[in-house]
């Protein structure tokens, strides 16, 4: 497995066809591994990017605390058959004078976009840059970040980016909590209360299946866990899929999750 750190080296090392890309911010867990495996199975060359993208973090957010462990990540990538890791520096991605941003409008509004202004502009810009640098035939995104996946689908469609976006189902811990790099920031008590998030979404999905209001059902479960702060519980339609989505705060850590109510990935 090769590791490259500059755009020029990436361009020189990555073949022009048959490439699958898995964009990540590192701290790789079994959710990322599911994406790597899906991509490994479908592409001749597998590229993973590891870049904690500063432009998608707001001023008071956890950019500084975001978990980083490159040595471990490289072992995980190697074990999953990654051919090349692109791990650029912040200056390499955003050199002095950088001033061009990708703004996806409607999909970026509400939900995460309401709670995190400028977040999706940072995500969209980083993803388009990665697509231009790596030039993958396919790129893989998790359902876990459903609004992000929809935003990338929209950006690719609107700007005619020649990449196929593939979505992968959410990987969960045994007790149902969706795997997330941010779970590492939870205390053991916060980890225990966080379970209410997937429980609430499952309850909402069951309610929906029996013709009841999924949002009210999910909210009732979250309201029973007063130490969780609820940012939102909403439904949204993305590209023919209907999701029930929620964001909560456990201590200082913000967690998001969603389930599919209608449609498939
Ligand atoms: P990151 O949070 O590292 O996630 C990288 C990819 O892994 C995303 O597509 C995300 O949806 C997926 N993922 C995370 N947890 C998952 C889980 N439990 N099951 C399945 N997939 C999961 O998302 C980002 O990084 C960044 O915003 C990025 C797209 C790299 C742009 O900077």
Question: Residue 118, by phi and psi: left (phi above 0), alpha (psi -120 to 50) or beta?
Answer: left
Catalytic residue of the set 32, 75, 119, 243: 32
Predicted confidence at residue 158, as pLDDT, reads 98
Sequence-separated (6 or more) residues with CB below 8 Å from residue 54: 63, 90, 94, 122
**Helix and strand element counts for the chain (H, E):** 10, 9
The finding on whether 154 has its CB within 6 A of some atom of ligand 1 is no
For ligand 1, say whether the CB of 119 is within 6 Å of any of its atoms.
no
Q: Is the pTM of this model over 0.95?
A: yes
pLDDT on residue 262: 97
Alpha-carbon distance of 82 to 80, in angstroms, equals: 6
Q: Is 119 a known active-site residue?
A: no
Q: How far is the CA of 80 from the centre of ligand 1 (A)?
A: 16
Quick check: CB of 127 below 6 Å from ligand 1? yes
Give pLDDT, residue 216. Answer: 98
**With respect to CATH, is domain 2-168 assigned 3.40.50.620?**
yes
The pLDDT of residue 212 is: 98
If you measure from the C-alpha of residue 145 to the centroid of ligand 1, how many angstroms do you get, rounded to a whole number? Answer: 7
Just give the CATH number of 181-259.
Answer: 3.30.1300.10
Output the pLDDT for position 228. 97
Task: In whole angstroms, give the CA distance from residue 180 to residue 39.
Answer: 19
Where would I find the H helices in the chain? 7-13, 30-42, 70-79, 90-93, 112-115, 119-134, 146-158, 188-194, 196-209, 214-223
Q: How far apart are CA 47 and CA 35, in angstroms?
A: 11
In the chain, what are the domain boundaries? Answer: 2-168, 181-259
Contact 128, 120 (CB under 8 A): no
Residues in the chain predicted with pLDDT less than 70, given as ranges, are none
Q: Specify the residue with its C-alpha closest to ligand 1, atom 27.
A: 123
9: left (phi > 0), else alpha (psi -120 to 50), else beta? alpha
pLDDT by residue (tens digit) across 168-205?
999 999 999 999 999 999 999 999 999 999 999 999 99
């Amino acid at each position: 497995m090769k590791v490259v750190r500059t755009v020029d080296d990436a361009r020189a090392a990555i073949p022009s066809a048959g490439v699958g890309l898995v964009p990540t911010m590192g701290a790789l867990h079994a959710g990322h591994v599911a994406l790597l495996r899906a991509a490994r199975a479908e592409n001749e060359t597998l590229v993973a990017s590891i870049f904690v993208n500063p432009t998608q973090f707001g001023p008071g957010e956890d950019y500084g605390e975001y978990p980083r462990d490159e040595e471990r990540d490289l072992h995980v990538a190697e074990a999953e058959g990654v051919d090349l890791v692109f791990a650029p520096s912040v200056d390499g991605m955003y050199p002095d004078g950088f001033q061009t941003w990708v703004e996806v409008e409607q999909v970026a509004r509400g939900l995460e976009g309401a709670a995190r202004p400028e977040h999706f502009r940072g995500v969209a810009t980083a993803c388009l840059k990665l697509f231009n640098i790596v030039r993958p035939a396919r790129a893989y995104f998790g359902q876990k970040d459903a609004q992000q996946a929809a935003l990338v689908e929209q950006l690719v469609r609107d700007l005619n980016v020649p990449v196929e976006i593939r979505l992968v189902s959410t990987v969960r811990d045994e007790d149902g909590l969706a795997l997330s790099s941010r779970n590492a920031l939870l205390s053991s008590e916060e980890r225990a209360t966080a379970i209410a998030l997937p429980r609430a979404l499952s309850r909402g999905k069951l309610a929906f299946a029996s013709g009841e209001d999924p949002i009210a059902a999910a909210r009732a479960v979250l309201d029973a866990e007063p130490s969780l702060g609820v940012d939102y519980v909403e439904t949204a339609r993305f590209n023919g899929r209907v999701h029930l989505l929620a964001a909560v705060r456990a201590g200082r850590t913000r967690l998001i999750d969603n389930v599919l109510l209608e449609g498939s990935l």
